[in-house]
Amino acid sequence: MPLSTDSNNSPTTQRTEDHSEHNDSYPVGHVFLPELQTNARDQERLLAEIPPGTSNLPDPGLQQTFAETYFDYCYTWCPVLDRDSLPDELSRSPLLVNALALASSHIKPPMIPHDGPASYYDRARRRFYDDEEPDVMTSLKAISLFYWWSPRPPTILHRHSSWWWTSVVIRHCQQLGIHREPAFDHPLRQRIDLSLRRRIWWTAFARERLTALCQSKPCAIHPEDCTLSEPTLEDFPDPRDQTKAEIFIHWVRLCAIIGKVAEYLARTCTLAPCTFPVRLARELIAWVQSLPPHLQLPIESDRTTSFNREVHQLHLPYLAVIIIVHLKRSSSSQPLPQVYPPAILAATCMARIMRDILSRGGTRFLMAITGWYCGTAFIALLQALRIEGLAKGANEDLDILTMAVDQLRVMWPTAAVFHSGFDRIRSNAAASDADSQRPPGPELGIGDRTGYMEMADGIDWTAYFPFATPQTSVVANRLLVPHTEELFFDDDVFTDAMLQFQDLFEPCDTLSETNLFM
């Protein structure tokens, strides 16, 4: 059935900013609002009918290549398929065949004729909604793979985003009781695959926590209601996948902290003012310092000699959350948020990651949320342009981020929004600074004694960055020179930043949000 283009009869074309009274509460969405509005108008004009799917399946040769692509690029973040059982599952499930083809052909399109991810997705979702797959666990595996498809930007409300499908997975798991650990004497315990249940559940959990931060959406999962144990290496049967399994386990732990940050910022905006909990800063620091040597971000020198795309990706959400909690809310007279040294250092490290990826020739393995990561880093580095000694390096990093979203928009419509916004905002910021007589730098405490000194309870903000050195980037070289007092931050400034940031996460309904994560 084709999608309706009549906004009076169907929600599929409802603009997400039509009820945008809270849009100014979102740091990234507020900054890129003109591009989002333009994109919505374009989508309303261009939204076309999707042709009906057919029953054709990719041939066995293509299915094999799609499986290889999945294990190379998707398994780390979505370990729901097993090498040994996959051939038999594909032989029984057209839904899973199409879902696997969707994800893999979008990441690494074959150079021989194939139907393409749009067709694979359409067939798979129709089979799911028509209840054609009798095995519910196979259905959960399949729709978990829909994460690698976003048919249009989030300026149109639709039922094809990762937010929608992650919610579907979560609700099915909760209905099945997958979020709870069976008792040792439970009659079903010996007949269920607990390892698979953990991998499916914690994949959905991690995705939801990331969405909660970047979209300010409420979490559907309440950890206190869950008794399912965290994933362990024993849940990954193939020894070839052990490093990927380690990364997944640490990613889930990071996303659990990110969820706490998102929930805190969302809920405290309606309460009495309070400081950002130091315990969460400690948890982030403990997480990064808990990584084994082979999972640490290898950017301590001016070039990366031990590049691992999964390790680089693992650190993107970590750096993004540091940026978010070290932004200072913008006002109507100052539309861009102010930033503090931790946010700038995190942003330059993110630009370094993207430079490493771009220099190796491709971004197709990156997920849709990467555009949002780049957007957060862009905002932080844009403010660094006003700091004497940082401008040159910040400009270089901004160029890298612009190149990154230019590549990302080939796959992800959301990245096109950021790409068009980068040029506009950068040009406007340059013009504004040219007209401004205000001296650069005081907001960051560089050059005076009112800036960041030390976080509450004696936490040095540089502990966030055990992988960064003066050789990491030009900006890092400026921030990580032998520390003078003005490169740390004191309790008052940290508290002020957090108080003013809380309003960025005011609760709102799904129609009033500017969604930036597909």
How does pLDDT run across 202-259, given as a tens digit for each residue?
999 999 999 999 888 888 899 999 999 999 999 998 999 999 999 999 999 999 999 9
φ/ψ of 34, rounded to 5, equals -60, -40
What is the residue extent of each domain of the chain? 52-149, 295-505
For residue 46, the model assigns a pLDDT of: 53
Burial 196-210 (b: 16+ CB within 10 A, else e): bbbbbbbbbbbbbbb
Query: Where is mean pLDDT largest: 49-63, 271-285, 329-343, 395-409?
Result: 395-409
* Cβ proximity of 499 and 275 under 8 Å: yes
> Rounded CA gap, 286 and 295, in Å?
14
For residue 386, the model assigns a pLDDT of: 83
| pLDDT value at 307 more than 80 | yes
For residue 275, the model assigns a pLDDT of: 57
Q: What integer is the mean pLDDT of 164-180? A: 95
Q: What integer is the mean pLDDT of 74-97? A: 97
Which tops the pLDDT comparison, 201 or 159?
201
Q: What integer is the mean pLDDT of 270-297? A: 83
Range of weakest confidence among 27-36, 107-116, 467-476: 27-36
| pLDDT value at 161 more than 50 | yes
Q: What is the pTM of this model?
A: 0.81
**pLDDT band at 333; cut points 50, 70, 90:** low
**pLDDT band at 154; cut points 50, 70, 90:** low
For residue 264, the model assigns a pLDDT of: 87
| pLDDT value at 105 more than 50 | yes
Q: What integer is the mean pLDDT of 91-105? A: 97
Share of the chain above pLDDT 70, in %: 72
| pLDDT value at 364 more than 90 | yes
* Cβ proximity of 102 and 117 under 8 Å: yes
Burial 56-88 (b: 16+ CB within 10 A, else e): ebbeeebbebbbebbbebbbbbbbbbbeeebee
| pLDDT value at 173 more than 90 | yes
For residue 406, the model assigns a pLDDT of: 95
Under 8 Å CB-to-CB from 317, ≥6 apart: which residues?
A: 210, 251, 254, 255, 258, 369, 373
Q: What's the pLDDT tens digit per position in 408-438?
A: 999 998 888 888 888 888 877 666 665 554 4
Average pLDDT across the chain, whole number: 80
Q: How far is CA 43 from CA 165, 410, 414, 472, 511, in A?
A: 21, 16, 12, 40, 17
